[in-house]
Amino acid sequence: MIDHALALLEMHDLPSWEKDAPLRREMERLRDDVRGYQLAAGHDEGRACRKAAQVSERADRIRAFMANKRHGAQAINGWGFASRGHRYEL
């Protein structure tokens, strides 16, 4: 799972900040999470497991972003309306 996150971090064909800022923010957070995992792996096994789960969740979210399957404010709510301030295109 950490290897998949590292592969995501090595991608060079990412959209610019202007085109997809949420994806770029998630990539920065993933980079921080991977560093945290690497530090925790040498000291505390329990903390390393929690960080690994966090890295895995964030990597899954990034893959969903890249497949245009957004969650939260970027997605349509349960009634079929776009969230306020966001536009969802099919």
Contact between 74 and 22 under an 8 Å Cβ cutoff? The reply is yes
pTM: 0.71
Residue by residue, pLDDT tens for the chain (90 residues) are 788 888 888 888 888 888 888 888 999 999 999 999 999 998 889 999 999 999 999 998 888 888 876 655 545 555 555 555 555 454
Contact between 3 and 28 under an 8 Å Cβ cutoff? The reply is no
The reported pLDDT for the residue numbered 27 is 92
Its sign, for the CA torsion 35, 2, 56, 47, is negative
